[in-house]
Structure 1
């Protein structure tokens, strides 16, 4: 919100929209919809080094965390991730602060090429003070289904690392909520990609 010299208040229509449609929400009804968040980054490093940072993300320092949107919203920040086995059936535990943990099971694996995994967050593991109920992952409104890393060779010393995920929304205004969910998911993914890039290129 901003005020000019005449004390007039301007509020973004994006923020006001839920209030405008709230009287008709009960007539719409909740329905689940699946969305995709896609991101990528170009990295100048050898593929073995890149892939090592994909499968196993060592502890992330505060100054490495560049998730401006999620930090502004108070969303849990990433801490680390560890894959116990490089192959189908491998278990990857992605740890965020505030008690958020993603339990990831590898469903497709191609060494230094592609990894797809299911994602599950158990709401009962997340402290009630960590998130608003509308954005609790695995809750009644918002859930993340799966994720995929894919490494593409661009030239002799540059690779493009793709990261995309599918998430589900169950609200009375998915078309609006999906904008925020997409921004949040892409912010999380871009943050992780930047960390992988920085570490791979540094080595």
Structure 2
């Protein structure tokens, strides 16, 4: 690679990376939160598109002509942005894993756009300048649109070969959970706290149940419906001020501005041959302008938590 080619490559990668970091810093200023926010369609979808367009547009024409280059090359500044924001603690690991698929797809689409603009003989500088300024124009407009909270249901179940009373004891109160019993692979990968135990002061409506997780996360649960050995419904409340700031990224903290768990329900159904089916479902709320995407992740996370608990309850009911 000659010096000119190296210089062009560094520019094509460096400028989009710096642009992304500067925009992240700008969108993270608390006093400007009413105009610019990271948790917006503008930032999560528009930013990587522009990064991709810049990467290809600033590249050598010989490279920019290749479709494969237009699709893959924009991933380099995205991953550099990933590393820089993690190193500077601007974003957490969980947030990045959730938004990375969006960033990569949007960056590739932007790369195709950048290649198209580079191939055309028109005032491309004006087009690129407009793209670069687009987030600063769109974000204030998006902030004027009220986000509509969406309520979602996460449903899971498991079949257990044990008597109903034995299962129910493990449902109402969950004894200490060693780390070896934890099978919550998604939540573990995202760095979410793992379940430790659940305490219940008595069986019945109005009872207080406390679900304790690692790193200071506690679900405060109030039983609103109770049928012994059959059904238990409870409201769930997590208090963000109780959760240490190092436990969860501010954008995914439970009970925060964007994500909250509302209620949970256990139902025990009798099946043939002494088998019981234990149902567990929960309702949670998302409050973003991109609930269509955030809601999917919310379901996956809640189902992972619930399946983890159900497996523990099954293993204990069948062995204890």
Change (3 A) 1:128 1:13: closer
CA–CA separation in structure 1 for the residues paired with 2:251 and 2:272 = 43
Larger gyration radius, structure 1 or structure 2: 2
Q: Which runs of 5+ in 1 are unaligned?
A: 1-5
TM-superposed CA distance for 1:10, in Å, is 9.1
Q: Does 1:153 align with 2:259?
A: no
TM-superposed CA distance for 1:59, in Å, is 0.3
When structure 1 is superposed on structure 2, of 34-43 and 8-17 the one drifting more is 8-17
TM-superposed CA distance for 1:13, in Å, is 8.0
What are the Cα deviations for residues 130-180 of structure 1, in whole angstroms up to 9, with x where unaligned?
001111111000000000000000113100000000000001100000111
Q: How many pairs does the alignment contain?
A: 197
Which residue in 1 is equivalent to 2:223? 106
Question: Residue 15 of structure 1 is aligned with which of 102, 116, 119?
Answer: 102
The 5-angstrom pairing of residues 79-98 of structure 1 reads: 79-98=196-215
Which residue in 2 is equivalent to 1:115? 232
CA–CA separation in structure 2 for the residues paired with 1:48 and 1:68 = 29
When structure 1 is superposed on structure 2, of 132-141 and 104-113 the one drifting more is 132-141
Secondary structure at the residue paired with 1:117?
strand
Which residue in 2 is equivalent to 1:126? 243
What are the Cα deviations for residues 101-148 of structure 1, in whole angstroms up to 9, with x where unaligned?
000000000000000000000000000010011111110000000000
Secondary structure at the residue paired with 1:194?
helix
TM-superposed CA distance for 1:15, in Å, is 3.1
Alignment TM-score, normalising by the size of structure 2:
0.58
Change (3 A) 1:18 1:9: closer
CA–CA separation in structure 2 for the residues paired with 1:133 and 1:10 = 27
More strand per residue: 1
Q: Which runs of 5+ in 2 are unaligned?
A: 1-68, 76-98, 110-133
CA–CA separation in structure 2 for the residues paired with 1:44 and 1:31 = 43
More helix per residue: 2
CA–CA separation in structure 1 for the residues paired with 2:148 and 2:170 = 37
Which structure ranks higher in relative contact order (CA pairs < 8 Å, sequence separation ≥ 6)?
A: 1
Alignment TM-score, normalising by the size of structure 1:
0.90
Question: Residue 173 of structure 1 is aligned with which of 290, 297, 308?
Answer: 290
Q: Does 1:47 align with 2:183?
A: no
